[in-house]
Amino acid sequence: MGIAGNPKSLAMDIADGFVALSPSGLKRYSPSDLKTIHSNLNLVLREVRGEVIPPEDLMAIKKKNLRIQRINQALLMLSNYCRQQKIPL
Reported pTM: 0.90
Would the CA dihedral through 60, 65, 68, 70 be positive or negative?
negative
Judge contact between 41 and 13, C-beta under 8 A: no
Q: Please tell me the predicted confidence (pLDDT) of residue 3.
A: 79
**Structural domain boundaries of the chain?**
15-84
Q: Quick one: average pLDDT of 21-41?
A: 93
Please enumerate in sequence order all residues whose Cβ is within 8 A of that of 85, keeping only pairs 6 or more positions apart, or say none: none
Q: Is the pLDDT of residue 51 over 70?
A: yes
Judge contact between 3 and 36, C-beta under 8 A: yes
Q: Is the pLDDT of residue 1 over 80?
A: no
Residue 2's pLDDT band, with cuts at 50, 70 and 90, is: confident
Q: Residue 41: exposed, middle, or buried by beta-carbon count in 10 A (0-12, 13-18, 19+)?
A: buried
